[in-house]
Structure 1
Amino acid sequence: MDFTVVGLRVLREVAERGTFTAAAHALGYTQSAISRQVAGLEQATGVRLFDRYPGGVRLTTAGRALLPHAVTALDALDAADRELSGAEDDTGQVRLGFFPAVGSVLVARALTTLGRQCPRIQVTTREGTTPSLLRALRAGVLDVALLSSRPPHRSPDADDPPLHAEPLLEDRLVLAVPVSGRFADRASVTAQHIAGETWIASPSSTDEPLLGIWPGLPGRPRVHHATRDWLTKLHLVAAGVGITTVPSMLLSAIPPGVRLVTIDDLPEERRRVSLVRLPGPTTPSTDALVHALRRHAADLAE
């Protein structure tokens, strides 16, 4: 089979991004150029590599089989380029993905510890939604990812080979409310207390549902503010313009003007933070990062 380096890079990028348009933007190509490269790969292999569907593409079984070989080949070429150019060895690099809520607490603390104990290890991070982080893992552009799940905690995806998922932390959702006003003296509330309140939520998308509203809340919530940034959400709560749900592990990052309360008459909502990676051996640098993440996850769980 006759592969080109450009074709393999396009395969990896489309697999990671989930759309031809996003891959074209990342690589600086036109969408038609991406389509031509994919068509050339499919002609060379004699099989369809992507299934098209409204809103994006997914790797076929053949595409999933080809992807790890493409990643291995591209990594080898990148290593050869670094060696020929005299660049320093980068085997101490680790690529970590995470969902937004853990960035300011678990990730930041783990990187502080790792930087103090293993200063030669270089960690690059990427925040993203669960689907985007899973695509990045499968495409070989992330080494490990922190993902959130709700019971019954099924496998993150159904692709092969199955991902290795290690639970790090069990957390629960709580309600972030202003310190003043009608919630000032309450340690907990009921569904009736928050009926009709204005909510602050993350924008919904095909990747992720609307986040920030208490799951299963009766009635139709009023969402007046939408932002993905947790700090913005919490400062909007402090400003008294709405309420939102947050993981309880964010307690140490709560700004002045915000209190965390529980809801008495609705089922408790628990979330698990897991460290997810592809199966197989890991590098010493990855092991060092994982050790730091485990340590601080245990601290947050206390």
Structure 2
Amino acid sequence: MDFSDVSLVALRVFREVAERGTFTAAASALGYTQSAVSRQIASIERAAQAQLLERRREGVRLTPAGQLVLRNAVRVLDQIDATTRELAGLPAEGGTVRLGWFPTAGAVLLPRAIGLLRRAPVTLISREGRTPTLIRSLRAGTIDLAILASVPPFRAPDAETPALMLETLAERPLRLALPAGHPLAAADSVAVEDLRGQRWIAGGSDNLLGVWPGLDERPEIAHIARDWLARLHLVAAGAGLTTVPASLDGAVPPGVRVVSVRGGPQEIRRVVLARLPGPLPESTALVADAIRAAART
């Protein structure tokens, strides 16, 4: 086993594949051909004398050997990047924290946290992503913290080791958004059976996100929009109904009434802060504290 001939390019490609989850996505992000990515991964596996990635139909998964190589590759690449910045006369990134967040967290929770950090000695860099992408990014070391949405039965987001540290920031029921002039908008809650025959504004990978879960009929989808705020503005325009996670309570536009739904299984949603185990640097701990405080607001 000899890593002395492994190039930095190969290490960067390996980290990108681990984060993106597929050779195709990594090649697109790096501007490489897929065959070039495959050659770089093969060179690392030859040096390790072990399979680092398990190829699956839905993408790749790190083997135990791959997890070990990734942890050390991230350290090496971070040290090289820090050296490059120092040689260029740029300030060190010791106070920089990289945060990933699920889509609706950017409407209320993230701005609140940033406001609380305004005078803190921290540079926060953030990006939106779906849970699988954010989990891979945590594992690859390209983000330090992730704000995730979790639904029952609240399983761990992945089965890799070491297990991620998960902290529940909030746990609240899913709610329903409907036009202020809708017949059901007069009360503070509606019965689940009254949702039959309604028109829905949905989205998501299966185009059912936004429809009340567990309806005993095939829902009528009037509009499909991936962006939650777009859905809420469509509700305000009278185009249909949609569900509202608690993280959007402070971003509901005028013309929308938000109510609870009674009857049927209780639909609880969690907001979770995820990170790799181990002590947190001071700057990362400051960001985590700000996120906790913002979630309590």
TM above 0.5: yes
Q: Aligned runs of 1:262-273 on 2, under 5 Å?
A: 262-273=260-271
The answer to whether the 8 Å contact 2:103/2:129 transfers is yes
Mean CA deviation greater in 161-170 or 222-231: 222-231
The CA deviation at 1:264 is 1.6
**Paired amino acid for 2:279:** P
**Paired amino acid for 1:150:** V
The CA deviation at 1:243 is 1.0
The answer to whether the 8 Å contact 1:199/1:212 transfers is yes
Q: Report Cα offsets for 1:236-293 as digits up to 9, x if no partner.
A: 1111112111113422211011111122222221111111100112111111111111
Mapped to 1, the partners of 2:28 and 2:244 lie a distance apart of 33
The answer to whether the 8 Å contact 1:172/1:269 transfers is yes
Correspondence for 1:202: 203
Q: Report Cα offsets for 1:51-106 as digits up to 9, x if no partner.
A: 22223211122211211011011001111111111111111100011111221111
Mapped to 2, the partners of 1:150 and 1:16 lie a distance apart of 23
The CA deviation at 1:152 is 3.8
The answer to whether the 8 Å contact 2:185/2:259 transfers is no
Q: For structure 1, list consecutive stretches of 5 or more residues without a partner in the other structure.
A: none
Correspondence for 1:255: 253
Correspondence for 2:95: 92
Q: Aligned runs of 1:171-190 on 2, under 5 Å?
A: 171-190=172-191
Q: Aligned pair 1:31/2:11, yes or no?
A: no
Correspondence for 1:229: 227
Mapped to 2, the partners of 1:14 and 1:100 lie a distance apart of 23
| Partner SS, residue 219 of structure 1 | coil
The CA deviation at 1:219 is 1.4
RMSD between aligned residues: 1.5
| Partner SS, residue 218 of structure 1 | coil
Correspondence for 1:126: 127
Correspondence for 2:143: 142
Correspondence for 2:6: 3
The CA deviation at 1:8 is 0.5
Q: Aligned pair 1:238/2:233, yes or no?
A: no
| Partner SS, residue 292 of structure 1 | helix
Deviant stretches of 4+, over 6 Å:
none
| Partner SS, residue 151 of structure 1 | coil
Q: Report Cα offsets for 1:3-28 as digits up to 9, x if no partner.
A: 11011101100000011111111111
Correspondence for 1:212: 210
**Paired amino acid for 2:146:** A
Q: For structure 2, list consecutive stretches of 5 or more residues without a partner in the other structure.
A: none
Q: Report Cα offsets for 1:84-129 as digits up to 9, x if no partner.
A: 11111111100011111221111110101101x21x4111111111
Tell me the TM-score normalised to structure 1 length.
Answer: 0.93
Correspondence for 1:114: 117
The answer to whether the 8 Å contact 1:171/1:249 transfers is no
Q: Aligned pair 1:289/2:287, yes or no?
A: yes
Q: Aligned pair 1:19/2:17, yes or no?
A: no
The answer to whether the 8 Å contact 1:177/1:244 transfers is yes
The answer to whether the 8 Å contact 1:177/1:242 transfers is yes
Overall identity of the aligned pairs, in %: 52
The CA deviation at 1:212 is 1.3
| Partner SS, residue 174 of structure 2 | strand
The CA deviation at 1:187 is 2.1
Mapped to 2, the partners of 1:225 and 1:19 lie a distance apart of 31
Partner of residue 69 from structure 1, selected from 46, 69, 72: 72
The answer to whether the 8 Å contact 2:202/2:208 transfers is yes
| Partner SS, residue 184 of structure 1 | helix
**Paired amino acid for 1:124:** I
Mapped to 2, the partners of 1:196 and 1:190 lie a distance apart of 13
The answer to whether the 8 Å contact 2:53/2:61 transfers is yes
